[in-house]
Amino acid sequence: MSDAPSAAEEIMDGVYSALRAHGYADLTMQDIADECSKSKSLLHYHYDTKEDLLVAFLEYIVSDSEERIAARADDPPVERLVQFIGWFVFAPDETDREAFHIALLELRTQGPFNERIREQLARSDRLLRGTVADILADGIETGVFRDVDVEETAAMIVATLDGARTRQITLADSVRGDEADGYTRTVAEATLRRIVEPLLADGAELPPLDAAIEALRRDPDSPEPDDPEPDDPETDAAADGSE
Protein backbone atom coordinates (compact mmCIF):
# COMPACT_ATOMS: atom_id res chain seq x y z
CA MET A 1 0.00 0.00 0.00
CA SER A 2 1.25 3.44 -0.86
CA ASP A 3 1.84 5.98 1.88
CA ALA A 4 1.20 8.90 -0.48
CA PRO A 5 -2.01 10.72 0.42
CA SER A 6 -4.64 11.10 -2.29
CA ALA A 7 -5.53 14.55 -3.63
CA ALA A 8 -8.78 14.40 -1.67
CA GLU A 9 -6.87 13.67 1.55
CA GLU A 10 -4.49 16.52 0.85
CA ILE A 11 -7.41 18.87 0.36
CA MET A 12 -9.03 17.69 3.61
CA ASP A 13 -5.75 18.28 5.43
CA GLY A 14 -5.74 21.74 3.89
CA VAL A 15 -9.24 22.47 5.22
CA TYR A 16 -8.15 21.27 8.65
CA SER A 17 -5.08 23.54 8.66
CA ALA A 18 -7.01 26.49 7.23
CA LEU A 19 -9.76 26.18 9.86
CA ARG A 20 -7.16 26.23 12.62
CA ALA A 21 -5.38 29.23 11.12
CA HIS A 22 -8.35 31.33 10.02
CA GLY A 23 -11.44 30.06 11.82
CA TYR A 24 -14.66 29.34 9.98
CA ALA A 25 -16.34 32.72 9.51
CA ASP A 26 -13.57 34.37 7.49
CA LEU A 27 -12.31 31.27 5.70
CA THR A 28 -11.81 31.58 1.93
CA MET A 29 -11.14 29.01 -0.79
CA GLN A 30 -7.78 30.75 -1.28
CA ASP A 31 -6.85 30.11 2.38
CA ILE A 32 -7.57 26.42 1.89
CA ALA A 33 -5.70 26.32 -1.44
CA ASP A 34 -2.67 27.91 0.25
CA GLU A 35 -2.70 25.38 3.08
CA CYS A 36 -2.74 22.34 0.78
CA SER A 37 -0.55 23.80 -2.00
CA LYS A 38 -3.26 23.34 -4.58
CA SER A 39 -4.63 25.99 -6.91
CA LYS A 40 -7.92 27.63 -6.10
CA SER A 41 -9.21 26.54 -9.52
CA LEU A 42 -8.41 22.91 -8.70
CA LEU A 43 -10.43 23.20 -5.49
CA HIS A 44 -13.31 24.68 -7.47
CA TYR A 45 -13.02 21.84 -9.98
CA HIS A 46 -13.76 19.39 -7.15
CA TYR A 47 -16.06 21.55 -5.03
CA ASP A 48 -18.33 24.18 -6.54
CA THR A 49 -18.58 26.32 -3.43
CA LYS A 50 -16.89 26.80 -0.08
CA GLU A 51 -20.02 25.31 1.48
CA ASP A 52 -19.66 22.16 -0.65
CA LEU A 53 -16.08 21.78 0.51
CA LEU A 54 -16.92 22.31 4.18
CA VAL A 55 -19.78 19.81 4.03
CA ALA A 56 -17.38 17.33 2.39
CA PHE A 57 -14.92 18.01 5.21
CA LEU A 58 -17.57 17.29 7.83
CA GLU A 59 -18.50 14.09 5.99
CA TYR A 60 -14.84 13.14 5.93
CA ILE A 61 -14.20 13.62 9.63
CA VAL A 62 -17.41 11.84 10.69
CA SER A 63 -16.59 8.90 8.37
CA ASP A 64 -13.07 8.83 9.73
CA SER A 65 -14.51 8.66 13.26
CA GLU A 66 -16.85 5.85 12.25
CA GLU A 67 -13.95 3.79 10.92
CA ARG A 68 -11.73 4.39 13.89
CA ILE A 69 -14.50 3.56 16.35
CA ALA A 70 -15.37 0.41 14.38
CA ALA A 71 -11.71 -0.66 14.54
CA ARG A 72 -11.95 -0.81 18.33
CA ALA A 73 -15.33 -2.48 18.58
CA ASP A 74 -13.81 -5.71 19.93
CA ASP A 75 -11.97 -4.10 22.86
CA PRO A 76 -13.45 -4.77 26.31
CA PRO A 77 -16.42 -2.43 27.04
CA VAL A 78 -14.99 -0.74 30.14
CA GLU A 79 -11.73 0.08 28.34
CA ARG A 80 -13.64 1.41 25.33
CA LEU A 81 -15.68 3.70 27.54
CA VAL A 82 -12.61 5.11 29.29
CA GLN A 83 -10.97 5.64 25.89
CA PHE A 84 -14.08 7.40 24.58
CA ILE A 85 -14.01 9.76 27.55
CA GLY A 86 -10.24 10.21 27.22
CA TRP A 87 -10.59 11.32 23.58
CA PHE A 88 -12.26 14.53 24.72
CA VAL A 89 -9.50 15.48 27.13
CA PHE A 90 -6.94 18.02 26.00
CA ALA A 91 -4.54 20.25 27.84
CA PRO A 92 -4.94 24.04 27.74
CA ASP A 93 -1.60 24.25 25.91
CA GLU A 94 -2.79 22.13 22.97
CA THR A 95 -3.43 25.27 20.98
CA ASP A 96 -3.80 23.58 17.57
CA ARG A 97 -6.57 21.42 18.88
CA GLU A 98 -8.20 24.38 20.60
CA ALA A 99 -8.10 26.41 17.37
CA PHE A 100 -9.64 23.55 15.39
CA HIS A 101 -12.46 23.07 17.89
CA ILE A 102 -13.24 26.77 17.94
CA ALA A 103 -13.62 26.70 14.14
CA LEU A 104 -15.74 23.58 14.40
CA LEU A 105 -17.96 25.22 17.01
CA GLU A 106 -18.46 28.15 14.61
CA LEU A 107 -19.42 25.63 11.94
CA ARG A 108 -21.85 23.98 14.34
CA THR A 109 -23.65 27.29 14.90
CA GLN A 110 -24.63 27.05 11.20
CA GLY A 111 -26.59 23.85 11.90
CA PRO A 112 -29.97 25.55 12.25
CA PHE A 113 -29.51 27.46 8.97
CA ASN A 114 -27.91 24.85 6.74
CA GLU A 115 -29.54 21.48 6.21
CA ARG A 116 -26.43 19.79 4.80
CA ILE A 117 -24.32 20.85 7.78
CA ARG A 118 -27.11 19.82 10.13
CA GLU A 119 -27.28 16.38 8.50
CA GLN A 120 -23.61 15.80 9.24
CA LEU A 121 -23.97 17.07 12.82
CA ALA A 122 -26.91 14.72 13.31
CA ARG A 123 -24.87 11.88 11.85
CA SER A 124 -22.05 12.68 14.27
CA ASP A 125 -24.53 12.82 17.16
CA ARG A 126 -25.93 9.41 16.26
CA LEU A 127 -22.39 8.04 16.04
CA LEU A 128 -21.31 9.43 19.43
CA ARG A 129 -24.43 8.50 21.36
CA GLY A 130 -24.71 5.21 19.50
CA THR A 131 -21.12 4.32 20.38
CA VAL A 132 -21.62 4.96 24.09
CA ALA A 133 -24.95 3.14 24.04
CA ASP A 134 -23.37 0.13 22.26
CA ILE A 135 -20.48 0.01 24.71
CA LEU A 136 -22.91 0.06 27.64
CA ALA A 137 -25.17 -2.58 26.07
CA ASP A 138 -22.16 -4.83 25.40
CA GLY A 139 -20.97 -4.37 28.97
CA ILE A 140 -24.40 -5.15 30.40
CA GLU A 141 -24.54 -8.30 28.30
CA THR A 142 -21.10 -9.46 29.43
CA GLY A 143 -21.84 -8.56 33.04
CA VAL A 144 -19.34 -5.74 33.62
CA PHE A 145 -22.00 -3.00 33.78
CA ARG A 146 -25.17 -3.03 35.82
CA ASP A 147 -28.46 -2.71 33.98
CA VAL A 148 -29.04 0.94 33.09
CA ASP A 149 -30.93 3.13 30.61
CA VAL A 150 -28.22 3.10 27.92
CA GLU A 151 -29.75 5.84 25.75
CA GLU A 152 -30.11 8.30 28.60
CA THR A 153 -26.64 7.56 29.91
CA ALA A 154 -25.16 8.00 26.44
CA ALA A 155 -26.92 11.35 25.95
CA MET A 156 -25.67 12.55 29.30
CA ILE A 157 -22.04 11.47 28.82
CA VAL A 158 -21.85 13.02 25.35
CA ALA A 159 -23.43 16.29 26.55
CA THR A 160 -21.08 16.46 29.53
CA LEU A 161 -17.89 16.00 27.49
CA ASP A 162 -19.08 18.32 24.72
CA GLY A 163 -19.96 21.02 27.26
CA ALA A 164 -16.58 20.71 28.99
CA ARG A 165 -14.80 21.09 25.67
CA THR A 166 -16.87 24.10 24.65
CA ARG A 167 -16.16 25.80 27.96
CA GLN A 168 -12.44 25.06 27.81
CA ILE A 169 -12.01 26.41 24.27
CA THR A 170 -14.20 29.50 24.65
CA LEU A 171 -12.83 30.54 28.03
CA ALA A 172 -9.27 29.82 26.88
CA ASP A 173 -6.63 30.98 29.31
CA SER A 174 -9.01 33.00 31.46
CA VAL A 175 -9.58 29.97 33.68
CA ARG A 176 -6.11 28.51 33.45
CA GLY A 177 -5.04 30.09 36.69
CA ASP A 178 -7.29 28.00 38.89
CA GLU A 179 -7.72 25.04 36.56
CA ALA A 180 -4.28 24.18 35.26
CA ASP A 181 -5.49 20.84 33.88
CA GLY A 182 -8.35 22.33 31.91
CA TYR A 183 -12.09 21.89 32.04
CA THR A 184 -12.08 18.70 29.94
CA ARG A 185 -9.70 16.94 32.30
CA THR A 186 -11.64 17.91 35.44
CA VAL A 187 -14.95 16.88 33.93
CA ALA A 188 -13.67 13.63 32.40
CA GLU A 189 -12.42 12.51 35.79
CA ALA A 190 -15.70 13.50 37.41
CA THR A 191 -17.65 11.65 34.71
CA LEU A 192 -15.71 8.46 35.36
CA ARG A 193 -16.15 8.68 39.11
CA ARG A 194 -19.73 9.98 39.22
CA ILE A 195 -21.43 8.42 36.19
CA VAL A 196 -19.38 5.42 35.08
CA GLU A 197 -18.11 3.95 38.36
CA PRO A 198 -21.61 3.53 39.85
CA LEU A 199 -22.50 1.45 36.76
CA LEU A 200 -19.70 -1.07 37.24
CA ALA A 201 -20.69 -4.56 38.33
CA ASP A 202 -18.97 -6.00 41.41
CA GLY A 203 -15.39 -6.87 40.61
CA ALA A 204 -15.16 -4.68 37.47
CA GLU A 205 -12.57 -1.92 37.61
CA LEU A 206 -11.90 1.26 35.68
CA PRO A 207 -8.54 1.44 33.96
CA PRO A 208 -6.80 4.74 34.75
CA LEU A 209 -7.70 7.72 32.53
CA ASP A 210 -4.05 8.73 32.12
CA ALA A 211 -3.07 5.40 30.64
CA ALA A 212 -5.96 5.62 28.16
CA ILE A 213 -4.98 9.15 27.13
CA GLU A 214 -1.33 8.12 26.76
CA ALA A 215 -2.33 5.17 24.56
CA LEU A 216 -4.52 7.42 22.42
CA ARG A 217 -1.62 9.83 21.89
CA ARG A 218 0.74 7.05 20.88
CA ASP A 219 -1.75 5.48 18.49
CA PRO A 220 -2.09 7.30 15.14
CA ASP A 221 -5.39 5.49 14.62
CA SER A 222 -6.94 7.03 17.65
CA PRO A 223 -9.94 9.17 16.89
CA GLU A 224 -11.27 12.10 18.68
CA PRO A 225 -14.95 11.57 18.36
CA ASP A 226 -17.21 14.22 16.86
CA ASP A 227 -14.35 15.72 14.96
CA PRO A 228 -11.34 13.50 14.66
CA GLU A 229 -8.37 15.37 13.38
CA PRO A 230 -7.30 14.16 9.96
CA ASP A 231 -3.84 12.65 10.24
CA ASP A 232 -1.45 15.41 11.08
CA PRO A 233 2.04 14.95 9.65
CA GLU A 234 3.61 16.47 12.76
CA THR A 235 1.68 14.16 15.06
CA ASP A 236 2.35 11.15 12.89
CA ALA A 237 6.07 11.86 12.92
CA ALA A 238 5.95 11.69 16.71
CA ALA A 239 3.79 8.57 16.73
CA ASP A 240 5.03 5.04 17.00
CA GLY A 241 4.83 4.38 13.30
CA SER A 242 2.54 1.38 13.67
CA GLU A 243 0.40 2.50 10.73
Exposure b/e, 26-46, CB count within 10 A at least 16 = b: ebebebbbbbbebeeeebeee
- The smaller minimum CB distance to its own copies, of residues 179 and 219, is found at 179
Closest CB 223 distance from its own copies, rounded Å: 19
| Residue (of 78, 208, 81, 82) closest to 143 by Cα position | 78
73: helix, strand or coil: coil
Q: Which stretch binds its own copies (CB under 8 A): 77-85, 105-113, 212-220, 234-242?
A: 105-113
Identity (one letter) of the amino acid at 68? Answer: R
Q: Is 186 in the site for its own copies (CB under 8 A)?
A: yes
Segment near its own copies (CB under 8 A); pick from 4-12, 38-46, 49-57, 94-102: 94-102
Q: State the amino acid at position 111 in one-letter form.
A: G
Nearer to its own copies, 10 or 179 (CB): 179
For helices 95-108 and 7-22, the axis angle rounded to 10 degrees is: 90
Contact residues for its own copies (CB under 8 A)?
23, 25, 98-99, 102, 105-106, 108-109, 111-113, 118-119, 121-122, 125, 152-153, 155-156, 158-164, 166-167, 169-172, 174-175, 179, 183, 186-187, 189-191, 194-195, 198
